[in-house]
Amino acid sequence: MPLFTYKVRDKDGRVTSGVLEAANKRTVVEKLRAQNYFIASIEEEAPAGELLTLDIGELFITINTKDMVIFTNQLATMIGAGLTLTSSLNVLTQQIENKKLRKVIEKVRDDVEGGNSFSGALEKHPKVFSSLFVNMVHAGETGGALEEILLRLATFAEQAEDLKANVKTAMTYPVLILFVAVGVITFLVTGILPKFENIFLSSNVPLPMPTVLLLTASRFIREKWYMILFVVAVVVIGIYFYNRTKEGRFNLDAIKLKIPVFGSLLRKVAIARFARTLGTLISSGVPILQSLRIVQATVGNSVIASVIDNVCESVNKGESIAGPLQEGKVFPVMVGQMVAVGEEAGTLDEVLNKIADFYDKEVGFAVKALSSVIEPVLIFFVGGLVGLVALALFLPMFNMIQVIK
């Protein structure tokens, strides 16, 4: 049987620790409670041969948004039906298919049975439950509206996933076409051109400038390919480490927002995420300043995060949210004005959710527009490159035919 290390307090407040052998954590809890102890913590000791019996398949299992939405919806449904939290968690541990999530929920259940709050138990697993999730659950526990909060979290996760899917749709096709273009050009330059180069050189026919440039580029790529890889690697590594600095991340995020076409899309995505997250937190009863800090950590862009930081300072001083939003020049004028109206009317959460709905639709329209524009542009670009290569190959052939005549 597994061993459990425990730490408890007696009636006089004295802390005692020790080790118990039991079938599971629940049995340890029952034994300690029978001795009138207040449980501080219980941890299962890892068996000596645990690494040898590790399920390698679990290393490749991830917990995705769909798993979290199903878990949250099912938990909300059971709590709404009158089941206790521990009973609901116990049922979920038996029917959740994702092994990693099941193990996490088992630990959460054991912590709740050990006397911890639900939000406190979730907080021990930051890789699974975000600060937004934990704080909303805490607000639900405090306000006695856990079912409503869980349903709201599930809806929020679904909307966030839809938004992410729209952005992926917009980015996937251009990247795919670009890779195809690079592959085709590389094949032509390194595979086809060398065969024609020997023919052109042996003919002693003057080569036109496009052909000379193309053959020079082909020769350089074939002979100095390692230099190209080295330069690319240095640039990528340099950008990676620059992005890890505060200044670098801010500058790169600012550049992202200024990229033609894509910058506008990224800005709309960030605004939708900001409004949806903040509106959901406020409507769930999370304090405004704490909500802003959570949004700042999850907005995904340093430029927008700096504006939210100014908003936090404004709120700390007892001033409005709308002022710093309008001064930051990142959020559109409409957003600042709507937030100001929401603050005055006491309906800030409703206004923020309307802003999020509006920008979700804007992202959808932008994705469709981007797809309709970028497809012909990329096809024209790839076709133009292939045409230039073909022209550079056929021009010398025409000269050779004229010499033969």
**Contact by Cβ (8 Å): 30, 113:** no
Residues 46 and 66 in one domain: no
Residue 204 lies in a domain: yes
Q: pLDDT at residue 389 above 90? A: no
Residues 30 and 76 in one domain: no
Q: pLDDT at residue 51 above 60? A: no
pLDDT, one tens digit per residue, over 344-371 is 888 999 999 999 999 988 888 887 777 7
Cβ partners under 8 Å of residue 223, min gap 6: none
**Residue recorded with tokens 């749709």:** 169
Residues 368 and 239 in one domain: yes
Report d(CA 163, CA 269) in Å as an integer: 7
pLDDT interval class at 404 (50, 70, 90): low
**Residue recorded with tokens 């259940």:** 109
Residues 374 and 308 in one domain: yes
Residue 139 lies in a domain: no
Report d(CA 207, CA 348) in Å as an integer: 70
Helix (H, G, I), strand (E, B) or coil at 224: coil
Residues 210 and 349 in one domain: yes
Residues 88 and 225 in one domain: no
β-strand partners of 319: none
Residues 343 and 315 in one domain: yes
Report d(CA 5, CA 198) in Å as an integer: 77
Residues 380 and 352 in one domain: yes
- What is the tally of structural domains in the chain? 3
Residues 44 and 93 in one domain: no
| pTM of the predicted structure, to 2 decimals | 0.67
Residues 281 and 323 in one domain: yes
**Contact by Cβ (8 Å): 28, 42:** yes
Model pLDDT, residue 236: 94
Q: What percent of the chain has pLDDT over 90?
A: 8
Model pLDDT, residue 355: 93
Residues 44 and 68 in one domain: no
Domain span at 107? 60-129
Residues 331 and 403 in one domain: yes
Question: 377-385 long-range CB contacts below 8 Å, 24 or more apart?
Answer: 378/174, 378/177, 378/178, 378/181, 379/177, 381/181, 382/177, 382/180, 382/181, 382/184, 385/181, 385/184, 385/185
Label residues 359-370 b or e (16+ Cβ within 10 Å = b): bbebbbebbeeb
Model pLDDT, residue 53: 44
Residue 148 lies in a domain: no
